[in-house]
Every structure is written in structure tokens, then in C-alpha cells.
Structure 1
């Protein structure tokens, strides 16, 4: 057999449980849908060139190895085929049951006089769960994190932030007020403005994540924005359980908007309502807790906690700061072991932070800090600063400063550790610039940097451009691990404002020996105006214990439970 073979990765990330959707390579008579775990439904639309006989059975084959002309004869055929009618058109359908949770290649022998193979669909059978915000106006899914195994049951867990929830205020309102607010929500009038916030922990299990949270943390004051940032931070105290943190950037103590972070240590039993460690900002409008990450920067075996405070004026006004709390047998101290300072007035250093792995091969994890309004010159392109780890912790000065390309790019607004994209043994990372104009005004862009023995180069290996004006591609990023088993890590990019009505979109890019591919292997679109699909992203955790990385995509404006109730779409 001859002919070009196009490879299209289809993860079949259906965004609605109630509406089945068929997918397949563009222009192919073959469409494929994952209908259950390990079960793939294959539908064939018979081509009808002049003179073709009715009822022709297609030659469709599948394999766990790539399908080529040379391997075609050894691949099993898809059979039996049953006639069905879809939207008035006659089709043939078959189901491949009991497939193992690895990649499967499906293709058809091209009909007609010239031999060839249709575009090859690469299928990874995954399950889907959709979690919804309880009421309108919660913005559930604004932040999501796959936080590791908090309770030691062998399954990863999911943390979701809903920073505009007012659930913590409901009990304080008079009964008539609660009734009136519930009625307004029921008729579709969103109620928000209190911005008290909430965070929800969903445990994983053999059947996937639970549909209801096992633990809930509610804000206690208006404007707290609890859940504006959530993060798994590793094992801070070395007890073998994953720990997590919830940002409360609008928290008030003696001043206003100093911010705070609630840290919880994992344990085998129920989590307490009060945090194991409660850290508070020091200055008015510091917004301490706007960004959180964790990693072992001094190589002592304990994870370290990193907290961004982009409004801090320890240096210049609103230059921003990052506080590092080093882990130990009893967890981190309440006093930071390192403080990194922004240098640019209104630079917002610390608006994003990411533990990016070992980018220079010295055995220590490194830290990337975003300052999306800051650079060393007045262009305000945004910047990202790379700090190397070492036996004493993080270096006080950045080893590398990365800059945006044009004024207002907001380069550094989102950061992501990718793992090893190209298989060279060094960690790689990505930086988002959601207001970059290369693809149109505010289309957005993402720059991918590769580690090496001397660290990353100042110029990106790959630049990905947003799909069109206003998309804000790169406002959220996450590494997804090795989804397809090829040994290369991938990248998930959110463009929450994409679409004519800000439905949002998410783009999946595969890694390879040459780096991140420039064309997305998969694009997912929001289905509701203002859904903001892709506002929150998380990848790489394992919710069902099958050894494969899972994905979480937040749509903070999803209206399924009321306007701006929000939702999180999980694939595992």
C-alpha cells in the first residue's frame, strides 16, 4: 500500500456528558468515539462515487503499533459492521470492546482505484467526569490542581477553587435573604460580588474521582477570594502524604488585601477544618497567595513552599515579591527562608510561580517567577526570571531573565513545568504571553524553553501563536506528562477568551525529539457563551491509579448550574 499517512491525535475530550459526539480525521469517512473505558465505537460513512456498489464493507484495521503499508496485513480487521442511520444518512458501525488503556491506531484502506490509507486516528481510551459549581456566580474551576495522593490510598486527588462563591456567607444571612437569593439564581440572575470564595477536594479512586467533595474550605469574609489559587505542593514534612495549599489573596487581617495561604498536610484520616499552617502577607494590597507552587530546591528530600505576592512593595511599589518556606520534618517554618524581590515599579513579580524541575542538570530543582508587567526597560513587555536551586536553597539572584517581545504582551502571566519534552534528560518549561499580538490583537502566544547542561538559552526553542484576535492564548498552561506513551511530555494551553462569545478553547501539543510540535494535536472548544473553557488547567496527576497522567480543565463561566456557576472537565 502506498500514500501519505497523516497522524492525528484524538483524545475525544467530549465537553458534555449528555451529548454524544463523533470525531475523526478531517475529510475521512471514518469517525470514532470513545463510548466507555476500553470501548471504541467506529462509524463508517460509505463514499458514493459513480458506479460504486451499495453495501460495500470497508477495510478498517486497528493496532497498538503504527499502521503503515508495511504493517497493514498483520493488523486485525474491524468487524462485524452493523447498518445504522445517523441524521438520515446510512452508515455502518462497529464497536471495539475490551481494549487496553494504551494507544490504538485505527485506519481504513482508501476506496477507489488507487491504493492508500486514510488518515490514521490515534485513540487513547479515557473516561470523562464533569464536576459542576453548586450555584451561579461561584466561578468554580477558576483554579484547579491535581495535588497528588493526600490520604495515602494510592490515588491522586483534585483540588478546585471557586473564588467568587458566597457559600461561607449563606449561614449568616437571614432566612428570607437566603430564599430570595436562591430564587434569583433559579431564574438565571447571577449573584456575585461578595467574592468570599471556596475550595473543594475531590478524592480519586479506582473508578475515577468522586462526584462530591470529601472536604470543603469556605471563605469567611467578603473579598477574600479564597480559592483564587490552589496547588499541590509536594510532601512538605516528609510523612509520605501529599500536601496542598489554598490561596486567599484578598484576606484582610489588620490592613486590606494583605492576602494569606492556608496549608494542609496530607494524612490517612479526614482533613481538619483549620489549616496546619496559616501564612499571612505583611503589607496592604500585597495579594500574598496569588500564586503558589512547591518543589525541593535544596535537595534535602522535603518539598519547599513558594508563595507569590505581586502587590508587595518590599522593593519598589507593586514590584512584587516571592516568599520561599523550606520544608522539614515538622513542615515549613512560618518565617520564609528566602525572599526574592521584583525590581520593576508595578512589575507584579510573583503573579505566577512554577517549580520547573532541574533545567541545568545540577541535581537541584529550579524556580521560575513571572512578572507580567515587568522588565528592565520601560517597554512593559513582561518577564520571567529563572532561579537555580542549590544546597543552600534558591539563589538570591536570577540566573536568566526572559523577556516578552512587545509592549503589553503580559509575558510571564502563566508558567508551566513540562518535564522532559525532547528526551534529552533536562527539564523544559513554557511561558505564556496572553496579550501578544502576533496572531492578532491579544491573540496570545506561548514560548517553550529547553533545559541543557548550561541551562536554557534566552531565546525559546518554539513559539506557539494564538488562534485569533482576543483569544488570550497562554493565559493558562500546564504540562500534561506523557499522555501517549511515546516517552515525550506534552503541553496543554488555555485560551479562555477564544470564540466569538468567549466560549474558550484548549489546545493540546505533543512533545517529540525536536520539541513541542507547532500544530495542536487536539483542540477543544467551550460550548456556552462566556464559559471561559481553559481558565484553569492541571495535568500529570493520576486520579484512578492506572499509571497514566490525567487532565483537568476548568470552565469558570459554565452555566450548567446557573450563570457563571462553573465546571471542571476531567479526563482520566
Structure 2
């Protein structure tokens, strides 16, 4: 057997990358290697134990390296300066840039805190950090190195109930073995474990603000606190004001990332901003053991309770692959066919802070309540529908913080609004149009058009006659103290062989005048491809919209279906303004072999320009890019919003396309996921309250829910 010293940081580097990125959502992950060794019970810090490990055909001698209940330091020091009769415990170790080891350890025989340095040549240096003759010190210690590899140690004085900090003296001191010791807190409620993070390379207490951060648990509340040095004194503040069992922390940039376990989740808290990210470890949840600070990306390790298994979770920061769960995290049971578009929407209708899902089928609306345990696969409540086409949207129409349901039924020529409440949906407004008008083909919240504090909405009557040979009119209803009895404005499209209101998209206040705006598209009719598609912009004002558009984007070719899909796609170029996507699926040829195109208008302080800033062609013949698009949010967390698009394909084919945002806009090389019968993508805020958004990929049959990932997980079973 090859005898080698194995520390967990080495193992993490060997295992990088943990898994190969998937090429399709349905693909299985690559299996990891097996560690043939038992694990100890859960503990904080690296906690591998056992006689040997076989990894990729190589035998390793195992030596535990951090926070084990018993540690034989004689093995580490190769029979160094320690006495065989001394009882050492509570070891913490760190590696320097040259492979040397630095350790702080409690000497149970003398009650002192000691420091050991084992350099790359095998020479051991031992010093006494705190030789308190009456108190017990160092029973919980944490050691880190500054930029010059000088040691800094945070530790507990158990007898005095104090948190202390020691720093190895810089080179210009006469006695290089001296330590500067300071008392950080004397609150009397400090308990371990503690964790030290060094945010700069200063060698002494003259460093800049926040040079050293010590994290510790208040024994009276089990809350996590931070003490940080400000160049003249120590500041203290609570970090996580809920009981936690333990934690591990590491520097990333100018922040401290803190791993801790909360209710079956491993949560990453970024201090001082306190942004939260959750890792759902499933059945293998256990205390997170430690993370790898040697690379740019955080990696953490945790073990299942009483399991011979290690879980590795690695940050996906800086990576695009692996950002979506391969397997669904939840599935909504077959709803007997999605009816209309959109046939599936999400919102918080019961004001509990967790997103709910609404599914439209042929004869009812099913409402699936979100909860921390996941969405209910069967509807919690239903609303009966008449036969015919239906349309639904969601918005907070009465601005009470609870989402409301807008429902249209063109077969009944009607539309209605149900307000969300703690006790459920309640009917607020309904209206019936002329018979056969198709009133209710769409009902869309369009914001506060008049800036009067009330939300307004638009209802499409898709069978009403327009101007020329266009079909469809849009009725604008203005909100108020009481529901409106009639529309305040009717918009009529113009053109030849066009369906007015094919898409109605609220924009918010794009030009900064205080009034919300919207765009309306007129795509060619499906039975007549001779129309010239167009997209009209209507800006808001104190008296509402004007009957004529303020701007128009048109096409000089017939039958390209310009405006088939129109969507606010987020801020794809990161300039702080939302951008607009306009689909043109038959841009090059009228038929299933068309490549299609997605046109992008960049937002600005004055709104949109008159010409497209970008045109993204479909990745291949038959893509028909522009049939459907959806804002994806910042999937890869690079600061630029991304966009979903659907490539319809032929028959049961059909792919999901993810277009990446960048400083120049959408990138021309997309990520393509192989799917079947895909018709829609619905972005969910957070249906299970774990801090991660989800998506539903709508096809035929059950509705799979996939979740966004900030960490990838691999298991190494025993």
C-alpha cells in the first residue's frame, strides 16, 4: 500500500470536476468513485476516518485532519517535540502555499494552547500561544493564514468565558516566536465551534477594517454572531438570528460565506450582505463538514447521519452547465390536457410567501398551493369552467401584496378577476361582451396606465372587426375604488389579414414619465399568410393610452409572423433596463423548415429605439425561433438575464433553447436541451420556500418541475 497523507482538500482537488455536465435534462449523472472507509459520527471540520481509502485505484493511508474527538498528533508530527504523556485534542489545521501544515491544538495536560508548524521538509516547530496557568484555553480553536502565511488563531478561554485572538508576530520583531494575544469578547456566552476568516493580508492589528472575522455561537440562544476587527477595536453583531447546530465559513472575494444547517437544508449565508442560498441535500442531510478554500469556488462536504457516505456540494459560480436539475424536483399529476395559452401560471394567491400554481384544463382551474414540503401534485382547490377556450394571467390588482387571478373565456364572451386572500380566491369583477365577439380571448394586467394608484387591465375580443381586414379589438379597463362597469378605451388595429392583439405585453414605465406602457402585436392569421406583421407601442399618460400607437415596428415581407411572441425578457445586457424580445418564426421561409429569428430591443432611460439592437437566428433549419420565448432570469448568475425559447420541431420532437445574456446582449451560441412535445416554459418564483426558483416545462401529460441550482452535488458511498 502506498502510504500517503490524505487531507480533505487534496481529495476535493482530485474529485474536481465532480460530475460531467449533462447534455439533456433526462440524462443520468456520471457516477463517482467509491471510498472504502467508515465515517465517524457527524462533526464539524474535515472528518474522514478509517484505516485506508481506495480512490481511482490508488491506496491512501488516512489521517484525520480537523476537529475529531480524538487525534493522535504524534502521527502528524512524526515523533516531534511533543510529550507522549500529554493529552492533545481540538486540533485545527491549515495548509500554506508551499504544502506546509500549521495547526493549533489544545494541550489537555497543561491546559494551554499550542501551535505547530510542519514544513515541506518535515521540520516541526512548536510554540506555546497561550500558557494560562489557571485557565483552560484552546478547547475550541481555529487557525488561518494571512497573505504572508503568518498564523492567526481564534480560540476560547473556557474558564474566563472569553473569546480570544492571537497573531504570530511579524518578521521585524526580535523574538519570532512571540504571539500577540487579545480578548475579543468577554460576554460570557461564547461557545464553540468558532471559525476565523482573514479578509486581508495584514500581519498585525494595524490592518484595515474587517481584517479578521471571528464567527461564534451564543450559548444562550444558539444564534450565530460575528466579531470583526476595525483596526482599533472589535465590533460585534448577530449574523443568523435562529438556532443552528454548527457552521463552517470561508472567504470568497470580500465576503464571508457561512455554511449551516437549517430544517433539512444546508444554507449558505453571504456576510455582510446576508444573501441566502440553499442546498437541498435530500435524505443524506447531515452537518456540513467543511469547504475548500484553496480554489475560487466554494466546495463543502457533509455526511449522512449514521451513513457511510460523503456528499460533496460545489459552487457553480462561474459555470453555465449543471444549473438545472436533471430530474424533476416535483411533478404535477396529469391535468388531462393543458387548455389555452398560457395554460399554467404561478403566483402567491394565499399570501403565505410561497408561490402557488394554477393549471387550466378543459373544464376547470386547478390551484396547487406551494408549501415548504413542495407543491401538491393534486389541486388543493378548483374553479369550474364552461367549455371553450380560456386564458389566465396573474397580478396584484388591488396592491395588497397578494396575487390575483385574471380569467378570460372567449367561448362565453366573458372575463373576470378573482382577488387573492388568506382564505382563498374571491370574485371581484366580471364583464360580458357581445355574443360571438370573442371577448375574453385574452385578459392582461397592464400596470398603472394613468398613474392614479390603481392597476388597469386589457381584454381582447378577437372576433370583433378592426380596421381594414384586421380582426380584433382591445378593451382597456381602468381600476378604481370600485370595479368598472365598462371599458374606458377601445383600441383597434390596422392592416391586411392580421390578427390584432396576438400578443399584449405590459412594459412598466419604460420612458420614465411615471405612466406604464405596453406593446400590442398583430401577427398574420394562421389561415392566411399574406399579412405584414407589426408591433405597436402605446405609452401611458394622465388620460390613458392614445388610440394611435406611439411607435411601430413592421415587416416588409408577408407571412413572417412578426410579433408571434412578444416578451419582456429581462436585462440581457446588464445596463439596468429591461429589454424586449420580438419573435418572427417564419423570417426566412413560410413553413416548418424556417430558421426563425428573435429580435431584441435594448431598454434605455428614454425607452426603445426604432431599430432592433440584435437579431438572433435559430440554431438550425426548422427551429422557427420566435414561436415562444420566456424570461429565464439570470440562470448562470453572471449578472445578465437569460432567455428561454422553444424549437417546435416536427411531430414529437422539440427542443428547449437557453440563450445566454452578456454585456453585448444575447449570445449567438445557445444551450439546447432535448425535449418532447414542449409547448411552454413557466418560470416559478419559489414553490417550496428553499430560496431557489423553479421552472415547469409544459408538454403532454404530467408537468415536471425542475429547480435552479447554485451548487452541484455528488455522493461517495462506502
Q: TM-score range by the shorter chain?
A: 0.5 to 0.7
What residue in structure 2 maps to residue 561 of structure 1?
none
- The 2-side partners of 1:363 and 1:550 are apart by 32
Give the greater-gyration-radius structure (CA): 2
1:150 corresponds to 2:321: no
- The 1-side partners of 2:684 and 2:663 are apart by 20
Which residue among 419, 442, 447 is the counterpart of 1:265?
Answer: 419
- The 1-side partners of 2:505 and 2:30 are apart by 34
Quick one: structure 1 residues 142 and 308, their matched pair in 2 at CA, closer, same or farther if it must change by over 3 Å? closer
What residue in structure 2 maps to residue 503 of structure 1?
653
| CA-based RMSD | 3.9
- The 2-side partners of 1:566 and 1:79 are apart by 35
C-alpha distance after superposition, 1:228-256 (max 9, x if no partner): x2211x222233321121222222xxxxx
- The 1-side partners of 2:456 and 2:503 are apart by 16
What residue in structure 2 maps to residue 109 of structure 1?
none
1:491 corresponds to 2:692: no
Cα deviation for residue 354 of structure 1 reads 0.9
Which has the higher relative contact order, 1 or 2, with Cα contacts under 8 A spaced 6 or more apart?
Answer: 1
What residue in structure 1 maps to residue 366 of structure 2?
200
C-alpha distance after superposition, 1:2-36 (max 9, x if no partner): xxxxxx99799835xxxx62389xxxx99xxxxxx
What residue in structure 2 maps to residue 230 of structure 1?
392
Cα deviation for residue 464 of structure 1 reads 2.1
Which residue among 502, 517, 523 is the counterpart of 2:672?
Answer: 523
C-alpha distance after superposition, 1:431-468 (max 9, x if no partner): 12223337973332211111123321222222222244
What residue in structure 1 maps to residue 92 of structure 2?
none
Quick one: structure 1 residues 519 and 240, their matched pair in 2 at CA, closer, same or farther if it must change by over 3 Å? same
8 A contact 2:340–2:389 mirrored in 1: no
**Greater share of strand:** 2
1:22 corresponds to 2:29: yes
What residue in structure 2 maps to residue 403 of structure 1?
554
Quick one: structure 1 residues 77 and 303, their matched pair in 2 at CA, closer, same or farther if it must change by over 3 Å? closer
8 A contact 1:147–1:159 mirrored in 2: yes
Which residue among 442, 449, 462 is the counterpart of 1:310?
Answer: 462
- The 1-side partners of 2:576 and 2:464 are apart by 36
1:209 corresponds to 2:375: yes
**TM-score, structure 2 as length reference:** 0.53
Number of corresponding residues: 431
What residue in structure 1 maps to residue 70 of structure 2?
none
Unaligned stretches of 5+ residues in structure 2? 1-18, 34-54, 60-249, 254-292, 303-308, 709-718
Unaligned stretches of 5+ residues in structure 1? 1-7, 31-52, 58-62, 81-92, 107-118, 166-196, 252-258, 559-564
C-alpha distance after superposition, 1:519-541 (max 9, x if no partner): 22x322224xxxx21x2232263
8 A contact 1:309–1:349 mirrored in 2: no
1:243 corresponds to 2:376: no
Cα deviation for residue 265 of structure 1 reads 0.9
What residue in structure 1 maps to residue 262 of structure 2?
none
- The 1-side partners of 2:543 and 2:692 are apart by 34
Cα deviation for residue 209 of structure 1 reads 2.4
8 A contact 2:499–2:522 mirrored in 1: yes
Q: Helix, strand or coil for the counterpart of 1:289?
A: strand
Cα deviation for residue 283 of structure 1 reads 5.4
**TM-score, structure 1 as length reference:** 0.66
What residue in structure 1 maps to residue 316 of structure 2?
104
- The 2-side partners of 1:359 and 1:207 are apart by 39
Q: Helix, strand or coil for the counterpart of 1:143?
A: coil
- The 2-side partners of 1:320 and 1:10 are apart by 47
